[in-house]
Amino acid sequence: MATSTNKSATLRHWLEFIPLWLLVGALRILPRSLARTVGAAIGRAAFHLLSRLRKTGIRNLEIAFPAMAAEEREGILRSLYRHLGWQLAEFCLMAGYTAERASQFIRYEGLDNYLKARDKGRGVLIITGHLGAWELSSFFHSLRGYPMAMVIRRLDNPLVDRFVNGIRCMHGNRVLHKDDSARGLLRAMHHGETVGILMDTNMTPPQGVFVPYFGTQACTGAGLARVALKTNAAVLAGFLLWNEAEKRYVLHFGPEIELTRTGDHEMDAVTNTARFTAEIERYVREYPDQWLWVHRRWKTRPEGEAKLY
């Protein structure tokens, strides 16, 4: 079940929450195709209106693809906003989805990889990120009878936090907040559970370590690697990605990733974090218009390096 927050709601929180609640209610009553069309229109408007995020997205694409033409970078960013609009629509509709309904537009690829990892009984850590339809991925997995925990940041607005987590956790999923994730992860692995971790966001030391991401050092959370090394849990990548040829989503599970173990725990944490980050990069390179380029991924710099933003 969702973990609630004790933070009291203020008038500002209500003023932020009510428009969200109305938007979700409005899109929820629409047919899925129309809701996605409206979502894409919202995404298109956001691309034009949110200039600061657009600037960040272009800068990130310059860092990741320095040889790419400016027009291609802008095209990737425009397509990203369409995918974000689609995900907004899917989130609004999720509460009404059944396993049968969702299976009409989502299929698995590599489910056997997940089942083999789960059946080892040591717990499963899913490497994932803000790529594709990340909100829909764990929800669909729970609909199909495979509930999991998700490590997420507690939202600043407690009303929005409870509302969003209530939808996420309708079918057995549960939330592990980042401020208590270490103990929660160890406990979950002890019980053989599955936990998904979005590990493609900027971090700061000491929780974050610097590893290459698109050829540039990126401060990346090493918690997943440390927990995997301590518990011997299985680690594999999982992403729900839009397949344009099929006109549906595909939930990909990669093969289990073998951990590097040299006995130097800190070095092993960095080495394995780099391996996990390379796996994320591999998927992003294949689906560049589905990754959240508007996040300042390279904000934290190694000591002595110039800022990139």
CA 259 to chain centre: 22
Q: What is the percentage of the chain residues whose pLDDT exceeds 70?
A: 98
Residues pairing with 298 in the sheet: none
Q: What is the pLDDT of residue 183?
A: 87
For the stretch 141-173, pLDDT in tens is 999 999 999 999 899 999 999 999 999 999 999
CB-CB contact of 80 with 292 (8 Å)? yes
pTM of the model: 0.94
The phi and psi torsions of 216 (rounded to 5 degrees) equal -125, 135
Tokens encoding 17: 């929450």
As a whole number, mean pLDDT of residues 198-216 equals 97
How many CB atoms within 10 Å of residue 210? 20
Distances (CA, A) of 242 to 145, 176, 264, 285: 22, 27, 40, 14
Q: Is 108 helix (H, G, I), strand (E, B) or coil?
A: strand
Report the residue count for the chain: 309
- In this predicted model, what pLDDT tens digit does every residue of 219-255 receive, in sequence order? 999 999 999 999 999 999 999 999 999 999 999 999 9
